[in-house]
Amino acid sequence: MNPGNSTPPSESHEPAFERWRHRLAWTTGLGLTSEESLRRDQERQAELAPAQLAQCRQWKADLLSSSPKITFMLKHLELLGTPIGPEFLHCTPCQPTHAGGTDPDTGNIVLCQGRFMSKKHMEDTITHELLHLYDQSRFSVDWSNLRHHACSEVRASNLSGDCRWGREVRRLFFSFSKQHQACVRRRAVASVQANPSCPDRAAAERAVNEVFDSCFKDTRPFDEIY
């Protein structure tokens, strides 16, 4: 980012050295108050948003037409009477910790622009959300039932590519023994814990543990873990 594009607070009333110091702080983030840091982050996000939106939309269009696992999921959703077209996938800014989300009642999928490390990351995210829609269509999931939610999260994390070894290494989670299973379990617990019907982490862990073995083995509509 060009530091000249953002305007540090009170710059015009300060001596030259102080203006330079504030501009450096605005560029690096060092020495800013919490309010200044928030304003700086908001300005940067506003500057990046148009390019992030364009990239998100382009990747989405490419993947919907060329990704084997996404087109496979779309085919099986259509067979279940739940056709999902490009208009159901929406690129939008999100919280920093999220890459995507689904509204099972409407079939709409949110893709968090600027949060994807690569097109492959977006492909895995779309597949994850499509698996939730598949479960909703095939099994009539009650999302307020923690066991139902846990099963869908186990399946989505297991089958989408979320837990491939290279992705886990970038998250600083890596092991040569049952790393995939550990990742699926960890991510499922985190998702269930965020369910408004979940009272605490212990309840999320209990729900995941109760369904893990059977849901991990259920690879529908795939023949095996992709």
Residues 130, 204: Cα–Cα separation, whole Å = 22
129 is known as an active-site residue: yes
- Whether the CB-CB separation of 130 and 70 falls below 8 Å is answered with yes
**Of these residues, 129, 153, 205, 224, which one is catalytic?**
129
Hey, what are 75's tokens?
A: 């085919």
Residue type at 78?
E
Residues 7, 4: Cα–Cα separation, whole Å = 7
Torsion of CA 106, 75, 131, 94, to 10 degrees: -60
Q: Please give the positions annotated as active site.
A: 129
